[in-house]
Structure 1
């Protein structure tokens, strides 16, 4: 089997080849921290004077991720003993080095506000303005994030009451159905079926995401179940630029598919200037509601199909392309966006078929994708164009690998979900900031080379 070597995600080496001072400046310059300062700074003029340099504290948290410093305690130790690092973070020699408690109070203020999401959005919009984000395809995937706390012992479930044998009467069945409907309506939105998210607002969905650490389960590449106690990070990544365009942090037991609609709505409402044509996801997201949401934002779904014990349709192949009388698959030809119609042409095998002129074997077959959004996608399933777009989904997997290996995504050291979310959001922000800094450096080098050639 041929081994395909993946190229570098982006050239971090150009960033780390710089002197530490210039490296920090390159990353810090991409982050607009004024909203963060407004949240953490003292509001009243009265009371004890504030002696903390909040701007430098925020930059030091960014530097902690860049330098892979494991804990706040280690960060404070580095600030005390490395004067150049202290100056690079923005502290003056006369400034008092903040304590762990000071950092903790600042992070608690940030945790109570969606300010990090606004700063992330500002950075993405800046990258779009500078021409570094021009994606027409996004890839969505999730990853597990382990909690540092010891997992609680599993509670023993009480045995359900034995079911009454025999068929329910009409009155009993109606009462039971009503109770089921009331119970379903009372559930939080992320415990309902995915379809319930379609008509919910983005604010409602984001505010209802469960954040507490829970037991999670997922199949690995070998098909075996992997368990962990902690959280999940959900990411929507531009497959060409490889920026994180949207992210969501949740409890570890949240189904991957239930995070897709909030991510897609975030793309539609917060990054409406970016016209997305395709959304590519793996088979874990094969739910009709997700196809419907992608259709609502004006994009096409490229999602691996999950049979879910469904029988194959007669007269169609495994990719839902029609088949002729002799069961040869029709070939995907084109997609008509005006009428939202897929066009299939007669199979090659039918060229010399005696039934070619028969009415049972038509030359062209057309079907509207709205007939079944899950089965009919543009480009058609199984086509070369569909496979080419689906392969781009590997971009989100590489980004997640970078986040874990170089940006401390899996280094959550907080007991509460809100504080853990701040860590993941900060990781997301620093990754995009480093990406933008690298793109600016690469553009500057290219401009210098062009000038020298001219």
Structure 2
């Protein structure tokens, strides 16, 4: 079930603006000077180089303008004087060469500055109330590689692009050569909180604990929403370690028989075999009541066979006994389903990065550069949110 969630900003509204209007709004909330300073050459020798802040602006404008290559970016800077000016480049100098753009990008990767800028913008969005962070959805997306395809056995040895496979929403198996983009997304704003890039063959469940830890360090997370592919004990334990609850459907593959007197979803049964009624949680304990007492079933023995109380029999289950099977709120209740439906926010975030930006249109090699490329796309979403939020406040003032 897909639900339409309210967003604090409209990324699509920014996209439909003309470039001459969009870029000034986009750059209005970004102070790139501290990051550009780290990109400057320490050597005093040689002719005056290009302004690193201008090149950094151009690298960020490229995904927003759907410019996929350094060649395309150089051509745009060289032929579009307005674009060059909006990127902070002087009009009386030649546009930076393709080699210069590539070199700055490589330096950005080496110094991990894209991640630093991403983390700083996440914090700014949190402070401005754009990111709530109490509910977080996690999922992965297929990213196709620019590298030449390799046999699976050989590509595993490189640590870069590899063959991956997963099932789409219709149950069809899809394969690709490349990477996986793993995202943790705030479900309220649909903005990324954390990301990782791995070769395509890496299991989603292996990356979830680190994403959970990173997201929890940035915000106070109460719930993590993940699909059935993440139904692994280590994911539940990772959420528990940061005092949050993982909302994950049980994966029927490899499912063992539940304990005696228990349904698969963790609901205890009464002595007549009826599923008991979930009645809330008390700390780590889930409370279940007699289904006859709660009018869920018409038991032929009534309540008297199980309890002398007119409240009916009560069973309490300690969620710590099995973090996977027991969940608060209880699995498949209305509240649990409402929380799980918020997982679609990460799918929409993935879609924006791959459809409107350049996350899945790469012309670079190597997993570290691919990661920088994905950070730049995620930064565009965060900066757009800050810019549109500022526009809204100014319009309301």
TM-score between the two structures when normalised by the length of structure 2: 0.91
For residues 297 and 122 of structure 1, the distance between their equivalents in structure 2, rounded to whole angstroms, comes to 22
Match of 1:353 among 295, 300, 306: 300
For residues 287 and 29 of structure 1, the distance between their equivalents in structure 2, rounded to whole angstroms, comes to 43
Partner of 1:395: 345
Match of 1:344 among 288, 292, 305: 288
Q: Provide the aligned length of Structure 1 versus Structure 2.
A: 387
Contact 1:280 1:301 survives alignment (8 Å): yes
For residues 296 and 15 of structure 2, the distance between their equivalents in structure 1, rounded to whole angstroms, comes to 58
Structure 1 residue 16 displacement after superposition? 4.4
Quick one: structure 1 residues 296 and 155, their matched pair in 2 at CA, closer, same or farther if it must change by over 3 Å?
Answer: closer
Q: Unpaired runs of 5+ in structure 1?
A: 157-190, 192-209, 449-454
Structure 1 residue 385 displacement after superposition? 0.8
For residues 77 and 28 of structure 2, the distance between their equivalents in structure 1, rounded to whole angstroms, comes to 21
Structure 1 residue 32 displacement after superposition? 3.7
Structure 1 residue 319 displacement after superposition? 1.6
Partner of 2:322: 372
Structure 1 residue 71 displacement after superposition? 1.6
Partner of 1:223: 171
1:164-221 C-alpha deviation (Å, 9 max, x unpaired): xxxxxxxxxxxxxxxxxxxxxxxxxxx9xxxxxxxxxxxxxxxxxx951111111222
For residues 223 and 55 of structure 2, the distance between their equivalents in structure 1, rounded to whole angstroms, comes to 40
Partner of 2:148: 150
1:244 matched to 2:188? The reply is no
Match of 2:223 among 278, 296, 313: 278
Partner of 1:334: 280
For residues 346 and 12 of structure 1, the distance between their equivalents in structure 2, rounded to whole angstroms, comes to 49
Q: Unpaired runs of 5+ in structure 2?
A: none
For residues 233 and 97 of structure 1, the distance between their equivalents in structure 2, rounded to whole angstroms, comes to 32
Contact 1:325 1:360 survives alignment (8 Å): no
Structure 1 residue 12 displacement after superposition? 3.1
* 2:101 alignment partner, SS class: helix
1:317 matched to 2:263? The reply is yes
For residues 217 and 23 of structure 1, the distance between their equivalents in structure 2, rounded to whole angstroms, comes to 37
What is the alpha-carbon root mean square deviation over aligned residues?
A: 2.3
Structure 1 residue 301 displacement after superposition? 1.3
TM-score between the two structures when normalised by the length of structure 1: 0.80
Structure 1 residue 148 displacement after superposition? 1.9
Matches for 1:44-123 after TM superposition, within 5 Å = 44-45=43-44, 47-123=45-121
For residues 4 and 374 of structure 1, the distance between their equivalents in structure 2, rounded to whole angstroms, comes to 24
Contact 2:281 2:329 survives alignment (8 Å): yes
Contact 1:136 1:278 survives alignment (8 Å): yes
Quick one: structure 1 residues 355 and 136, their matched pair in 2 at CA, closer, same or farther if it must change by over 3 Å?
Answer: same
Structure 1 residue 30 displacement after superposition? 3.0
* Higher Cα Rg, which structure: 1
